[in-house]
Amino acid sequence: MNVYEIGNMGEKLAGNTYPGRGIVLGVTPDGKKAVAAYFIMGRSVNSRNRVFCVEPDGIRTEAHDPALMKDPHLIIYHPVRALGKGLIVTNGDQTDTIWEFAARGESWEAALRTRQFEDDAPNWTPRISGIQAGDGSYKLSILKAADPEGKACARFFWEYPATAGLGHFLHTYVCDGNPVIPTFQGEPERVEIPAKLEDFAEQLWNNLDENNKISLFVRYTDIETGAYEQKIINKHC
């Protein structure tokens, strides 16, 4: 077993109908650009009725058709926010919690210790979070139920240096399931990062399940200058 094997994102997503929501953080092969990607999927009408919209400091999820929105709880939030020269990427409103703690000079670990998994029994969807520094290094975290009843929360944190061509992929679910969707297991997965934004966005979007994919965000940031390019793809244009 090669624990340092680097996987391909297209291959990891292809054939998996429901990895849920996913974060990829990493660095381009030339070591010059920090890369961040976030995608959302959904199985219900309410969950699928969403788009990514640009905000001055990141992106926000919004209802594609407000008339169809039944419950904004857990599905309308600010998944990406700038933090100085870095970036916060999460699958819920813990983005704001992390930002608020950082503004007070407190750590993201302290911020996430005030939060836990989502209150959507019986799945107890994990809260996944990432924070990318201006130098391309990054941290990832998952908060997940420690028992089937959702009585306790297990919190995991990882920290990675900026390594040319390497990224890590963290997602909420292993795969689809019924009646319970199995939550992500183990460490974030090592994946290769393409040199070009368009190539990475295409690789991700084209391999997400056609029925369940909703929106994708990808950003490439020049580590030296801070200038960035980004792409958003919404199933509901």
Which residue type is seen at 115?
R
**Considering the entire predicted model, what is its pTM?**
0.98
- Reading the chain (237 residues) residue by residue, the pLDDT tens digits are 899 999 999 999 999 999 999 999 999 999 999 999 999 999 999 999 999 999 999 999 999 999 988 889 999 999 999 999 999 999 999 999 999 999 999 999 999 999 999 999 999 999 999 999 999 999 999 999 999 999 999 999 999 999 999 999 999 999 999 999 999 999 999 999 999 999 999 999 999 999 999 999 999 999 999 999 999 999 998
Residue 171 CA to residue 18 CA, distance in Å, equals 10
Q: Using an 8 Å Cβ cutoff, are 232 and 65 in contact?
A: no
The Cα-based distances of 89 to 37, 43, 45, 81, 105 in angstroms read: 8, 22, 24, 7, 18
